[in-house]
Structure 1
Amino acid sequence: MSQLTYPIQGIPVDTGRLEPPTRKEITAWLSDTANAHQVSLFMRALTEFQQLSPTNDSLSYYRIAGIHGEPDVEWDGVGNPPGSGFAGWWCAHNKETFATWHRPYLALFEQRIYEIMRKIIERDVPAPQVSIWEEAAKEWRLPYWDWGARQKYLNDYGLPEILTKERIDIINLIHDSPPVNIVNPLWKFTNPTGEAMGHRSMGRFRLQGIPWNRARATSRWGIALNQDESTWTDGVNDWEEANEAIRTPSLIGWLPTSIADAVYRLFATTFSSWESFESKKFHNPPTSADYLSLEFVHDGIHSMTGGFERLGRGIGHMADPSVAAFDPIFWLHHCNVDRLATIFQALHENMWFDSASGVGDVPLDPFHRDASNTPWTSNSCRDWKASFKYDYDDFTVPGQPAGVAPRSSTLRSSSGDAPRDDERDLPTLKKRINEKYGVVRREIMNSPSMRGRENDYVINIVYDRYALDGAAYFIHFFLGAPPGEVSFFRHANSYIGSVYTFSSSLEERGRTVQCHSCLEQKKQGVLSTAQIPITNVILGCAKDSSRTSLHSMTPDEVESYLEKNLTWRAVIAIESHTTPALPAANLPFPQDPGDPLSAGLIDMTRIPRTKIYAMKGTVSHSENDFELSTYSDYTSMWRATAGKPGGAVRENG
């Protein structure tokens, strides 16, 4: 008899209810006093979840976080590769199933929180109040962090305010009792054994890579490899550095809008396929639009949240895929990634995996639909409402009672069949997208006298994620000379954006390699794509022509300006390994940690498959708030990149 598997089915919904509860933006959810019981239950359940045994409970926080990367163990009876008897990572990065793989993963996390909520209610809530708390548990869904929107406490882009508080007050389980002050479980995750996560007492569940194996708790911008370990082993949460990274100043002071602009373009861009929208995997030949992807935008948030200065301000778990899921913010981040995918699905309901490719039916290991070993697939979780019983607040009508169906309904059956006749209120959805993320759109529309404002400018990049045997690196872009000191790159007035590989070292450990998919992609020569929108930068430079010498947004003038000023530098980000992934003599960056002027700088010849294109397109911004902008007709500006290391030339096509 085969082993029973853990069924991931979402939080149960009462019979007769037409619509499931919604996942909500975390600050709005926390601020609404009507959700006080939900908030209290969530914080209590997450706290208890994090305290479950890493070694004895496969449904503990530690083990579920470990599905994404380390430790290299099987989960729910599935090895990786399946049937090999080996362990390994399952996270679907640089793959066509990036968005869909994370969907059941989030549902698993959400379901486990709910199960613990029910135990807390049964154990601790007095009988007269049980029904109130049970209703709160049924209505709860995982909140998301909308990193494309400004945070009210900052009036800028950054972490949600709840992520800046080490302790919080929640309502008491006993009616009319004072609030309870607890350690905020979103602040960090601490190994409940009290040992480092790589300690021998963790057995086969220990983490392997330095520095993660020496940490007892997760960090954000806290682990500096040139400092004593005692300063970071218990976890450091430097949320101010994370906020600084997210709202990095630039030449014109507007760069933080590039996050919102990238989100906006995810919905307004005409992608050639669903795979191109969700994954950064290079498809030859990609259209000019296909360089942007949900995964690429997601990668940048990982780096900005975790930290990326090995010898300076510090690194953190979120910046390395092998350990990112241990940081509680991972779940809020990926909830937003899933949200953006659902919005795209609503806007493009007929766009999905090509049935001939078979990708839609590939098992999303190690996740199961039932106790009988039936795996989830992309097709079976296409309809998030039917599959996992949640929706997002983007699709609700203000003032709509809970459980009442709006104009919209479920997109498709869980088998991935054709859409039903009912449709979502797409005009209202587009209006919300314009209001929330159309920052550059508004700037352009408010600049009627700017010559060439009908033009759009982006930098398209092809890069090799595994060029340094998986070691993570950045390519930073500038308009003007970059600073001499690497640690100042992102703080320079000339800085305009970055590509982050979000990768980990490919090193053999015993009889396996932790990221089998990564190793296979490296062997196959799989590349990745990225896109950095720079229209907002060009507009700002043209408005400040006395300082920048750019007087308009016309193509000839912009191309000449980029030819003279566009530069880039590659920099090593994180090395997480027990032994160097590259021999010291062959490392592509200086090995003197005492040399802050050059530490981490990569010679572009060490990442030879990099190709950087400067592109000009046309944009149409509709005056109708219920319609999105449209982008089209991109061509290369060869003079802007020719003769520069990694720069594309006309022969690249």
Structure 2
Amino acid sequence: MAGFSKPRGLLSTLFAILLLLQVTVAISHHAHHEHARNPTPTEMEEHMEKTKRLLDERADRIKVTGVLGGTRAERKEVRDLKKNADQWNLYLLGMERFMAKAKSDPLSYYQIAGVHGRPYVTWNGFGPLTNNAGFCPHGQGLFGSWHRPYLAIFEQAWYQCVVEVIATFPSSQRARWTAARQTLRLPYWDWAVAPPSGESNMPTLLRDPTVSVTKPSGKVTINNPLYSYSFGSSLPSEMGGGPWNNWPITLRRPVSNPTRSNNNEVSSMLQSMRTNLRDRVYYLFISKASWGYVSSEQIGARTEIASVDSFESVHDAIHTTVGGDSGGTMYYLDYSAFDPAFWLHHVNIDRLLAMYQKNSPNTWVANSNINRPMAQWNQGEAKNANSPLKPFPKTTKGDYYTSNDIKDTLLLGYYYADAQSTGAMVSAVNNKYSGGRNGLRARSVGEDGANLPYDGRPLKAGDYHTILSIIANKFALEGSYTAHCFLGNGGNSTGNSTAPYSNSTAPFGNSTTPHSNSTGSTSYDYTQSPDYVGSYSVLGGTQTGSLLTEGCVPLTTALMGKEAAGYVKSIAPKDTEDYLKKNLYYKIVGPGGVEYNPEDLEDFHVYVQAAPVTPASSGDAFPELGDYIKLPTVTENLPAGQPYTWVPGPYDYIGYNETPSYEYPAPADSYPSGYPVPSGIPSEAPSRRTSQDTVSASRLSSTSTRRAIICTRIIPNRRIVSHVV
């Protein structure tokens, strides 16, 4: 480990020494000319900042370019990529070589994965960390755009490994492999699409411990680089400990005796969740809300009723399911990027967000406040689409990408077929994520256990889209937690669940720390219940705090099944409200498989609401959603189901500029050197608005200032709306 940590520590120390020398010389020079006055604290701070900027500009940093070289290639679904044998072979060999890079290499798998969360160290000449934290802006307005250059540097480093792999083949074979790599890009894993018949929506490609590949020596079997990542013989000490008693290999829903991943349970659970994941994606698209509202799960982004869910919130469900409440790698935000599944999953999130750009083309990143201390930002700093996406430089001198710079994915050398045009997007959403089209069937929806499988039906006039909305504190526990939602009388309701909410069926102790997991096998799998509808997950970390999120569990398809089985006459509130009141229940499960009383969790609230649906006018259009109405009687007797009104805090969103402050496509001078700039782009960058990046945490935390900055108004049947004043 010394080979990794010392160079980084040395860089930070050298930076600090240079900075101190600069300031000392400046103060001495100042004192020589003004003997009567010492510099003020403000002058000291300003000079420190100026010196830091000068040193930043002199730094020789690795420029994030993605895969460039003239060819703009498609990122494909992982199962589709496998159909091209040569590209699949290069993808795996490149990943194997990438993971084997020395930890001291800034382009190693270890260091790039470490940017996301732990080990809380600097990267690529960024300088000393602003706070002892990772760089990932989860629960922030920059969540979606920040991950785009992050994926690009991962793809860039992996692709270089592919090039190095090809160089090991005999010269007579290199032309073949070089041709294959030209259009090779990172694949994505679409966990919401219906899988091929007989398969799970978690491909075996991610679950097989070993895989056959072709190397210069011929066919060989290697450890599958999509199955796990190994830190070595032990977890590096700078990681500060890790899941499953510091196990040095990434794990998914781990079990013991011997310690291993339980990928079969992951696969089974995701298969049970697929319909609800599909519905969440579909109804996000037909909401047609602003991109900034649907990209982040932070409650402050919910300033329009159409935005009752977010892609980030859906993303959390994959993290917690793959990691598992037994304490796997993906279960903790801090460690999650080390699991190879993280990258396949996040490429899919990037794809969905790129598709949504076609759905709401005149909106982009929302103006927001940083709501928790991060490696690159302080709590309270205001951000917008022109804010630097640290620590990802677009030049070697420390100029960082902004969200506006990377709105066009072609800038980074890739595209998604489903995001090529509005028509391609609508077609993909309708064909992949709308209910009742694929002919697959789910488990029984009948309370009496009758074989009444149902996967949904097309929407029709008079239908309502009904959801269980959930507000939750992202960092209420040390680790993640999940609300499993059920509809039916096949199990106990939430209200009469056995006290004191300790899950007797899970062979675990009640520890909530991620570093002392028990050695039990697995927790009870709620997704196999005949009443199971879906899950709402909250991806947490190893530190507690306060950050409110909001999302939902769609109930519409489950209610369609009840309609088909004769339990309700229609899926309109007049016919479903009483049924929901009697049959809706949920269980909250946290680290170690422990069941929690919803009212014991800080800032946890649930309520049900429904919106009328107007069916699509044609196959190349989306249905229309009307305004949501709340159904308070459904949850009034459930724990945490009483009426609740959210009041913005000092670090919540302060508004959304509906007149975009960006220029798209990006200005020509923001494209990396060597990138073929699209035509029609102005040669000079427009002036950048930077005032929103100067709001201090102390100013925002002032009560009087909050009154000056934030005003609220109540819209009937809508949440509080915040506006900048």
Which of 542, 548, 572 in structure 1 is aligned with 2:563? 542
Tell me whether 1:465 sits opposite 2:474 in the alignment. yes
Write the deviation string for residues 128-164 of structure 1: whole angstroms up to 9, x where unpaired. Answer: 3323322322211000101111222634x52122113
Conserved 8 A contact 2:189-2:348:
yes
Secondary structure of the 2:253 match is coil
Alignment of 1:373-388 (within 5 A): 373-386=398-411, 388=412
Which of 213, 232, 244 in structure 2 is aligned with 1:211? 244
1:222 matched to which residue of 2?
Answer: 254
Secondary structure of the 2:636 match is coil
Tell me whether 1:9 sits opposite 2:65 in the alignment. yes
Q: CA deviation at 1:328?
A: 0.7
1:614 matched to which residue of 2?
Answer: 608
Alignment of 1:490-569 (within 5 A): 490-506=527-543, 522=546, 526-545=547-566, 549-569=567-587
Secondary structure of the 1:139 match is coil
Tell me whether 1:51 sits opposite 2:100 in the alignment. yes
Q: CA deviation at 1:650?
A: 8.1
Change in 2 beyond 3 A, CA 1:53/1:600: same
Write the deviation string for residues 82-130 of structure 1: whole angstroms up to 9, x where unpaired. Answer: xx4x5420111111111111111111111011111222222x1222332
Change in 2 beyond 3 A, CA 1:289/1:159: same
Change in 2 beyond 3 A, CA 1:617/1:114: same
Tell me whether 1:269 sits opposite 2:313 in the alignment. no
The CA RMSD measured in Å over matched residues stands at 2.5
Tell me whether 1:154 sits opposite 2:201 in the alignment. no
* Cα distance in 2 between the residues matched to 1:160 and 1:284: 34
1:182 matched to which residue of 2?
Answer: 222
Change in 2 beyond 3 A, CA 1:184/1:551: same
* Cα distance in 2 between the residues matched to 1:634 and 1:154: 38
Figure out how many residues of one structure are paired with residues of the other and give that number.
533
* Cα distance in 1 between the residues matched to 2:111 and 2:73: 27
Q: CA deviation at 1:632?
A: 1.8
Secondary structure of the 1:100 match is helix
Write the deviation string for residues 552-610 of structure 1: whole angstroms up to 9, x where unpaired. Answer: 32312211111112222322236xxxxxxxxxxxxxxxxxxxxxxxx722223322422
1:627 matched to which residue of 2?
Answer: 621
TM-score, structure 2 normalization: 0.69
Conserved 8 A contact 2:242-2:335:
no
Change in 2 beyond 3 A, CA 1:630/1:608: same
Identity across aligned pairs (percent)?
A: 27
Q: CA deviation at 1:319?
A: 1.6
Conserved 8 A contact 1:471-1:504:
yes
Alignment of 1:328-343 (within 5 A): 328-343=340-355
Conserved 8 A contact 2:617-2:623:
no
Q: CA deviation at 1:76?
A: 1.2
Using the TM superposition, name which of 164-173 and 622-631 deviates more. 164-173
1:584 matched to which residue of 2?
Answer: none
Conserved 8 A contact 2:116-2:334:
yes
Alignment of 1:426-441 (within 5 A): 426-440=422-436
* Cα distance in 2 between the residues matched to 1:269 and 1:190: 41
* Cα distance in 2 between the residues matched to 1:632 and 1:117: 50
Conserved 8 A contact 1:12-1:138:
no
Secondary structure of the 2:389 match is strand
Deviation >4 Å, runs of 4+:
354-358, 440-448, 483-486, 650-653
* Cα distance in 2 between the residues matched to 1:635 and 1:331: 38
Change in 2 beyond 3 A, CA 1:97/1:210: same
* Cα distance in 2 between the residues matched to 1:104 and 1:650: 38
Q: CA deviation at 1:242?
A: 0.8
Which of 176, 189, 196 in structure 1 is aligned with 2:234? 196
Conserved 8 A contact 2:323-2:330:
yes
* Cα distance in 2 between the residues matched to 1:284 and 1:4: 37
Change in 2 beyond 3 A, CA 1:473/1:566: same
Tell me whether 1:372 sits opposite 2:410 in the alignment. no
Conserved 8 A contact 2:613-2:623:
yes
* Cα distance in 1 between the residues matched to 2:458 and 2:367: 44
Gaps of 5+ in 1: 249-254, 396-407, 409-423, 508-518, 575-598
Secondary structure of the 2:249 match is coil
Change in 2 beyond 3 A, CA 1:447/1:300: closer
Alignment of 1:114-513 (within 5 A): 114-122=159-167, 124-152=168-196, 154-155=198-199, 157-173=200-216, 178-191=218-231, 193=232, 195-197=233-235, 202-204=236-238, 206-211=239-244, 214-223=246-255, 227=256, 231-232=258-259, 236-248=260-272, 256-271=274-289, 273-283=290-300, 286-308=303-325, 310=326, 315-354=327-366, 358-386=383-411, 388-395=412-419, 424=421, 426-440=422-436, 453-468=462-477, 470-479=478-487, 480=489, 481-482=491-492, 485=503, 487-506=524-543
Conserved 8 A contact 1:454-1:618:
yes
Q: CA deviation at 1:218?
A: 0.9
Change in 2 beyond 3 A, CA 1:180/1:471: closer
Secondary structure of the 1:265 match is helix
* Cα distance in 1 between the residues matched to 2:291 and 2:433: 21
* Cα distance in 2 between the residues matched to 1:135 and 1:383: 26
Conserved 8 A contact 2:436-2:458:
no
* Cα distance in 2 between the residues matched to 1:269 and 1:316: 34
Secondary structure of the 2:358 match is helix
Conserved 8 A contact 1:440-1:536:
no
Secondary structure of the 2:266 match is helix
* Cα distance in 1 between the residues matched to 2:558 and 2:475: 30
Secondary structure of the 1:322 match is coil
Conserved 8 A contact 1:496-1:537:
yes
Structure of greater Rg: 2
Conserved 8 A contact 1:80-1:89:
no
Q: CA deviation at 1:210?
A: 4.4
* Cα distance in 1 between the residues matched to 2:341 and 2:573: 41
Change in 2 beyond 3 A, CA 1:572/1:447: closer
Whichever residue aligns with residue 619 of structure 2, its letter is D
TM-score, structure 1 normalization: 0.76
1:74 matched to which residue of 2?
Answer: 122
Conserved 8 A contact 1:68-1:91:
yes
Write the deviation string for residues 313-355 of structure 1: whole angstroms up to 9, x where unpaired. Answer: xx32112111111111111110100000100012221111357
Q: CA deviation at 1:488?
A: 4.6
* Cα distance in 1 between the residues matched to 2:209 and 2:194: 22
* Cα distance in 2 between the residues matched to 1:319 and 1:573: 9
* Cα distance in 2 between the residues matched to 1:646 and 1:530: 15
Q: CA deviation at 1:498?
A: 2.0
Tell me whether 1:604 sits opposite 2:579 in the alignment. no
Change in 2 beyond 3 A, CA 1:651/1:71: closer
2:77 matched to which residue of 1?
Answer: 25
Secondary structure of the 2:180 match is helix
